[in-house]
Amino acid sequence: MDKNHHRRMSILILAGLALAIMAGSALAEVVDRIVAQVNDEIITMSEVEALAKSLESEGGPPKGKALQQLQREMLEALIDRKLAIAEAKRRGISVSDKDLDQAMQEFKRRNNIPDDATLDKALTRSGLTYKDLRDQIQGQLLQERLANVAVGGKMTVSDAEVRRYYEEHAKETTGAQVHLRMMTLNIPPNATSAQRDEIQQKADNILKEVRQGGGRSLSEVARKHEVEAIDLGFMSETDVAPQLAEVIRKGKPGDIVPVQTPKGFQFFQIGERRTGKAIPLEEAAPQIRQMLMRRDLEKLYTEWVKTLRSKAVIKIMM
């Protein structure tokens, strides 16, 4: 399976807005226009731009032909999403207000958002509204429920598959974790030279203060420079980017380490380490089985959605 198909497959069921929201940069301004019609539903350019922004890679926003390709992939994913949601409604599949409220709370918990005020600030920085987020999560829940109804009964994961995955990913079952806090200085996609210089200078000042020592916490440094610090909690080194994992391994508790990315600058404070022992297969098996079933569900569901396209009237104006 190629990378682009896998990206579209993940969007279809699992796409959320965490990347766009936590990145803290506003969406690019576009002149809105209709780019596709799916039966009686329309898709606008702003929807395509929003989804593309939420999946923007560490390499920064693409340009030229790469941008056009990404936009087309997002359009195809949105067409599938419109078809899926319409089919879910036709089958009487719905999401109650209570379920949606619980999903919103889970979204905040996963992204270390302590309260609604913090969420509102993050949404504003990203050019999104609370309704945008709620609608996206509602659509995601509808798709997940439709997937379970349409193809969920066709999936089986054997004990042998679970054991094989466990043995192939033994390093991920050691339980070793480190507590991390993060502070981010993002460079807006359309930043001017002056804005870039200002952010670079702030990053240099923070790095200088950090290297001078003094035992200050990341939260103290963040408050001084009016930047938000996020508590990421305990994380496995296997769950972070290789570049960061290497820095973490070399650091000691209390250290504040800088990481530069194409999007800007990040500062991580290393906290307590937990060097747990290997998790037994019996304990890890339920989570592994659930992960494998979800992977298979995505694959089967993606193929099934193609049958919806054959019955739909789709016009693309892009």
Per-residue pLDDT tens for 36-74? Answer: 999 999 999 988 887 776 555 444 456 677 788 888 888
Alpha-carbon distance of 296 to 157, in angstroms, equals 9
Please report whether residue 26 resides in a domain.
yes
Q: What pLDDT was estimated at residue 54?
A: 59
Note whether 246 and 142 are same-domain residues.
no
User: Has residue 283 been placed in a domain?
Assistant: no
Kindly state whether residue 78 falls inside one of the protein's structural domains: yes
What's the number of domains the chain is made of?
A: 2
Model pLDDT for residues 105-131, shown as the tens digit of each residue: 888 887 768 788 888 887 776 667 888
146/293 same-domain check: yes
> Would you say 196 and 262 are in contact if contact means Cβ atoms under 8 Å apart?
no
Would 79 be classed as within a structural domain? Answer: yes
- Beta-carbon contacts of residue 215 (< 8 Å; ≥ 6 apart): 254
| pLDDT attached to residue 312 | 92
For the segment 22-32, what is each residue's pLDDT rounded down to a tens digit? 444 444 444 57
> Would residue 245 count as lying in a domain?
yes
CATH code, domain carrying 41: 1.10.4030.10
Same domain, 32 and 143: yes
Q: pLDDT at position 26, please?
A: 40
C-alpha–C-alpha distance, residues 83 and 263, integer Å: 34
122 and 146 in a single domain? The answer is yes
Q: Are residues 18 and 84 in the same domain?
A: yes
Same domain, 106 and 30: yes
Residue 105 belongs to some domain of the structure: yes
Phi-psi region of 280 (alpha: psi -120 to 50; beta: other; left: phi over 0): beta
- In this structure, are 197 and 268 located in the same domain? yes
Task: Say if 282 falls within a structural domain.
Answer: no
pLDDT averaged over every residue in the chain:
78
10 within some domain: yes
Query: In terms of domains, do 11 and 147 share one?
Result: yes
Q: Is the predicted pLDDT of residue 198 greater than 90, yes or no?
A: no
pLDDT, one tens digit per residue, over 275-291 is 766 778 888 888 888 88
Regarding whether 144 and 212 lie in a shared domain, the answer is no
- 305 and 270 within one domain: no
Among the residue ranges 14-23, 37-46, 89-98, 169-178, the one predicted with the least confidence is: 14-23
Structural domain that includes position 71: 3-156+288-316
Task: For residues 67 and 107, state if they share a domain.
Answer: yes
pLDDT at 114: 79
C-alpha distance across the termini of the chain, in Å = 26
Q: Clarify whether residues 255 and 302 are in a common domain.
A: no
**Does the pLDDT of residue 191 top 90, yes or no?**
no
pLDDT at 182 over 70: yes
